[in-house]
Amino acid sequence: MTAFNRLPAPMGLLIDRDRPLAFSFDGKAYQGLQGDSIASALLANGRWLMSRSFKYHRPRGPLSLAGQDANTLVQLPDEPNALADMQALAEGLEVGGQNFAGSLDSDRDALLGHFSRFMPVGFYYRSFYKPQGIWKVWEPIIRKKAGLGVLNLKFQPEYHDKAFLFVDVAVVGAGPAGLSAALHAANTGAKVLLVEQQPYLGGALAWARFDLEGVRAGALRERLVEAVEQHPNIRILKEATCNAWFVDNFLPVIQGTRLYKVRARECIVATGAFDQPVVFRNNDLPGIMLTSAAQRLMKLYAVKPGNRAVVLTGNDDGYLAALDLHEAGVAVAAVIDLRDAPADGLLVTALQTRGIPHLPGHTVYEALHAKGMRHVSGVDVRRIVGEGQVASDAQRIDCDLLCMSAGYMPVYQLLCQAGGKLAYDDDQAAFSLSGLPRRLDVAGSVNGRYALDNVLLDGARAAGGATGRLGLGGSAEAIFAAEPRVNFDWPIFPHPDGKDFVDFDEDLQVRDIVNATRHGYRDVQLVKRFSTVGMGPSQGRHSALPTARLVARATGRSVSETGVTTARPPFVAEKLAHVAGRGFDPYRQTPMHQRHLEAGAKMMPAGVWQRPAYYGKAEERERCMQEEALHVRQKVGLIDVSTLGGLDVRGPDAAELLERLYTFAFAKQPVGRSRYALMTNEHGVVIDDGVCARFAPNHFYVTATTSGVDRLYQQMLKWNAQWRLDVDVTNVTAALAAVNLAGPDSRKVLQTLCNDLDLSAEAFPYLGVRQGTVVGIPARLLRVGFVGELGYEIHVPARYGEALWDALMAAGRAFDIRPFGVESQRLLRLEKGHVIIGQDTDGMTHPAEIDMGWAIARSKPFFVGKRSVQILEAQPLARKLVGFSLPKGASKPLEGHLVLDGDAISGSVTSCEYSRTLERIIGLAYVGSGQSAPGSHIPIRVEGGEVVQATVVELPFFDPHNQRQEL
């Protein structure tokens, strides 16, 4: 191959001839121009071979030059599988080939092609599944041979983000239809977003030829693009891909490192159509490309695609492309028309006047090559004598470029995602779309309009419909001129020696598809899954239609009956970084957070909250936790319980609401007292608990579990939306900071800060609640016994939380106060046998299983779950939560370890810890009802399969008569 020179202007729309860029491919230095893609720059240097095929390692070059095929997958320093025809060239870029052994030019694995007959369709499925486990042996070998690029594991993540974008009309695709639609919509005042995948506007206007003279497209493009770019109502996103359509016109559009979440009131899809290859032997050789690709190469990059070209076409556009080639100085050796004649007879004259040979009713039967298959060297041309059949006499035409196009397939992917149905008219070989949702329309070639005037009109029609629905005026009425068909209905010419590729990504030949149907896969979806057709990077853009045709014929049906495979998002490969964006991961902190950090707390998550687990280093967890717990038993400790859920229930029906929601009775609860509050759902399952403090006849303050409060609040509102009680429920969880000041010295500490309340046991007894001030801060004080010591929960407005903490820590210094964390608190409450809802209960736990029968007011007319609790209580108890203990030094069970009953599993451990106070291991576990009596021995299977024999003991483990908390 000799180096191609660039064509003169006006060819080369995208390149800047004054800005050369040096780059390398597979270690060899090349020069391209600013505006080049990697592929165009390589082709300008005469370098066609860019990749090796997936299975047979055949040499491949660009096919579509529009990012729609897998032939240009290359390796970038930080990115595998980059599309060379989409990736912009940059100075110093180091590009490599992928999927080869040795070098891209002489790939040792290309020998695999000779074994293709031994690698039939379904080869992997059928060859490596026996004996069991053999796939594990073969997998690494096959993955290496059929691999794609290599990841750079030292890659530093880039900043990716997302942003919503709100528009009246989103137009996907900036070809003539899209430009027309955008302009018409914007002129009515609509805010329009125009999304274009390529770095230029105009679509085919930028590279295709629409008339004999070749003048119309350029002038039209200039006019439309200028109008669109200057329109104040149009926002343009270039090099942006609309990767899916989701319900209500929610469109993910990827541009650079950002994913736009476009919400459009109206959406017009003008995505165009894909050029379709012709299937014949060796149709994958470098130098064989879609006709549109050769035109793009010339018009966009000023690269001459070859010296001697053959054009194989199924419609009139191939003739026009031949004129383009001719004008660019490429000798056109023949225009081969699959049809018997073009629709426009003037095209034949045009060829004749230029001396271009014309072969109607013919096809390329085989592409020829020199040794090494590096480039096409000629074609074997034959007369078509029947559907897919050719005459036996051949003529050979030498060429170094073969442009092919059998017709067009609409870019229907987004529309199918929207529920549109793609129909195929077997007689006209034409597609149509139906069943689109409201506020989504199509325009241009995706809608079956190919003649330029029709395309422009179709854009205006779609825009009119959209703006009409938006109330901006406009209508979707239009009358279209008839136009010739663009698809040749059977562009498939099987060859006895194969290599007639239907799917270039997956190296699938005609016989692979036919064989799949012989294996019994008649449904095109099953053919896809068995043969992997359409599952490669180009997702069936070029293989779906020939596959449908082959399956139709092999199963004696029409293409319309066979259908095509489903197109799902994403439209092109997208990075996980795009999907992740900034990865919002909310967390909540209490007002005392800063103090915990300063005190060296080891923080742990509690739902979305961050809480101190204990104060100290991670490796000293056990010591810290035990010392903190002991300190509370012996002196005084302070724990931040701000995360505890809090609800203010106020109004004349406050008590009535609680009566209905909780199992206990509250109507007669005295002001100034608290009560335990247990909640069941309608299934009778325990879902939350807390303390219900009554501050006034019409005011209760109810605490709830940290993780349960939001849901509980929602449920309360939902119930009262039906009951219509005169009550207000407010979630004050974050509004109140709270601490539990606990330990024998807690009263002494509080007394130094609290001068408007009598804290004596008589005036403020256990379970009493008061409102007062602590260091002048308005506070709700609750005497509670969760950890089993004299203690005060102090709830204050969040703005004062840190000041309260500071005051208590300062006042407590004289009493050797120390903060304690959640882990210590869990140990303390375990010593008291208190259940934590969600830890010691599960989705089945009903009150009797956790000995909470005492917390149910059975005489109430109703509470949520009452009927279910009654039914459950009437049944024999299947399991029960009990306390157990093990001697110090025994293997400590962990949460979730199983309790056994003979060979059967009877329950599991829910909480377990060593207690330094009690000097033994204590825990809670569900056991079979026959194992629940105190003194029973329960086998627990711990880590490593060891079985320890624990003893069931009466709860609480510590201070059985609860004297300490009532001091």
Partner 1 sequence: MAILQAQDFSERSPLYPRHVGARLGQLGNAAVVAGYGDEDESAQLQRCALIDQSNLARVGFRGSDAAEYLRARGYRLPERPNQAQPQDDGCLVARLSQSEYLLLGSLRDAGSRIQQEEAGWQLGDSANYLLPRQDSHAWLLLTGEQASEVMAKLCGVDLRAEAFPPGSVAQTSAARINVIVINAPQGELPCLQILCDRASASYFWDALLDAMAEFDGRAAGIDALL
Partner 2 sequence: MKIMPCPLNGPRNISEFTYGGELKQMPDPQACSDDEWADYVFNCDNHAGVVTEWWLHNASSYWFLAERHTVSDEIIRTFDPKELFDRRVDFAQPAARQEVVA
* Residue 651 binds to partner 1 (criterion: CB under 8 A): yes
Q: Which of residues 830-849 bind partner 2 (CB under 8 A)?
A: none
Q: Which of residues 474-493 bind partner 1 (CB under 8 A)?
A: none
> In one letter, which amino acid is 607?
G
Q: Which stretch binds partner 1 (CB under 8 A): 287-295, 330-338, 470-478, 646-654?
A: 646-654
668-692 burial, b for 16+ CB within 10 Å, e for fewer?
A: ebeebebbbbbbbeeebbbbbbbbb
Partner from partner 2, partner 1, none binding residue 594, C-beta < 5-8 Å depending on class = partner 1
User: Least CB distance from residue 717 to partner 1, whole Å?
Assistant: 11
User: Least CB distance from residue 672 to partner 1, whole Å?
Assistant: 15
The residue within the footprint of partner 1, chosen from 163, 341, 343, 717 (CB under 8 A), is 163
> For residue 186, what are its two tokens?
């914007």
Q: Which stretch binds partner 1 (CB under 8 A): 572-580, 657-665, 732-740, 828-836?
A: 732-740
Contact 186, 467 (CB under 8 A): no
* Residue 587 binds to partner 1 (criterion: CB under 8 A): yes
Burial of 779 (0-12, 13-18, 19+ CB in 10 A): buried
* Residue 714 binds to partner 1 (criterion: CB under 8 A): no
Q: Which of residues 874-933 bind partner 2 (CB under 8 A)?
A: 874-876
584 torsion bin: left (phi>0), alpha (psi -120 to 50), beta (else) = beta
Please name the helix (run of DSSP H) or strand (run of DSSP E) that holds residue 462, with its range, or none.
helix 452-469
Distance CA 134, CA 142 (A): 12
Contact 444, 456 (CB under 8 A): no
Contact 647, 709 (CB under 8 A): yes
Neighbours of 789 (CB within 10 A): 25
> Distance between alpha carbon 723 and the CA centroid of its chain, in Å?
41
> How many residues form the binding site for partner 2 (CB under 8 A)?
30
User: Least CB distance from residue 711 to partner 2, whole Å?
Assistant: 9
The residue within the footprint of partner 2, chosen from 660, 694, 770, 880 (CB under 8 A), is 660
Of the CA atoms within 13 Å of residue 919, those in its CB half-sphere come to: 0
Nearest by Cα to 685 from 847, 538, 875: 847
CA distance readout (Å), 10 to 16, 207, 220, 299, 325: 12, 11, 15, 8, 14
The residue within the footprint of partner 1, chosen from 502, 732, 750, 794 (CB under 8 A), is 732
> For residue 899, what are its two tokens?
């309790």
* Residue 735 binds to partner 2 (criterion: CB under 8 A): no
* Residue 235 binds to partner 1 (criterion: CB under 8 A): no
Of the CA atoms within 13 Å of residue 435, those in its CB half-sphere come to: 11
Sign of the torsion formed by the C-alpha atoms of 847, 853, 857 and 858: positive
User: Least CB distance from residue 433 to partner 2, whole Å?
Assistant: 19
Partner from partner 2, partner 1, none binding residue 166, C-beta < 5-8 Å depending on class = partner 1
User: Least CB distance from residue 10 to partner 2, whole Å?
Assistant: 44
> For residue 378, what are its two tokens?
């000629």
What is the DSSP pairing of strand 818-819 with strand 637-640? parallel
Peptide bond between residue 342 and the one before it cis (omega within 30 degrees of 0): no
Peptide bond between residue 10 and the one before it cis (omega within 30 degrees of 0): yes
User: Least CB distance from residue 651 to partner 1, whole Å?
Assistant: 7
Contact 686, 841 (CB under 8 A): yes
**Which CB sits closer to partner 2, 370 or 871?**
871
The residue within the footprint of partner 2, chosen from 231, 519, 683, 941 (CB under 8 A), is 683
**Which CB sits closer to partner 1, 728 or 901?**
728
Q: Which stretch binds partner 1 (CB under 8 A): 86-94, 474-482, 585-593, 631-639?
A: 585-593
Partner from partner 1, partner 2, none binding residue 37, C-beta < 5-8 Å depending on class = none
Q: How many residues does the chain have?
A: 967
**Which CB sits closer to partner 2, 529 or 683?**
683
**Which CB sits closer to partner 1, 266 or 400?**
266
Contact 859, 674 (CB under 8 A): no
Partner from partner 2, partner 1, none binding residue 308, C-beta < 5-8 Å depending on class = none
* Residue 30 binds to partner 1 (criterion: CB under 8 A): no
Give φ, ψ of 409 to 5 degrees.
Answer: -120, 130
Partner from partner 1, partner 2, none binding residue 348, C-beta < 5-8 Å depending on class = none
* Residue 866 binds to partner 2 (criterion: CB under 8 A): yes
**Which CB sits closer to partner 1, 348 or 734?**
734
* Residue 730 binds to partner 1 (criterion: CB under 8 A): yes
User: Least CB distance from residue 253 to partner 1, whole Å?
Assistant: 13
Peptide bond between residue 131 and the one before it cis (omega within 30 degrees of 0): yes
470-506 burial, b for 16+ CB within 10 Å, e for fewer?
A: bebebeeeeeeeeeebbbbbbbbbbbeeebbbbbbbb
Q: Which stretch binds partner 1 (CB under 8 A): 122-130, 415-423, 671-679, 727-735?
A: 727-735
Give φ, ψ of 502 to 5 degrees.
Answer: -95, -40
Distance CA 674, CA 690 (A): 10
Partner from partner 2, partner 1, none binding residue 586, C-beta < 5-8 Å depending on class = partner 1
* Residue 162 binds to partner 1 (criterion: CB under 8 A): yes
The residue within the footprint of partner 1, chosen from 54, 490, 700, 800 (CB under 8 A), is 800
The residue within the footprint of partner 1, chosen from 775, 790, 794, 852 (CB under 8 A), is 775
Binding site for partner 2 (CB under 8 A): 246-248, 250, 261, 660, 682-683, 713-714, 717-718, 721-726, 731, 861-862, 866-868, 870-871, 873-876
Binding site for partner 1 (CB under 8 A): 161-166, 261, 263, 582, 584-591, 593-594, 608-609, 642, 648, 650-652, 696, 698-699, 726, 728, 730-732, 734-736, 775-777, 797-800, 802-803
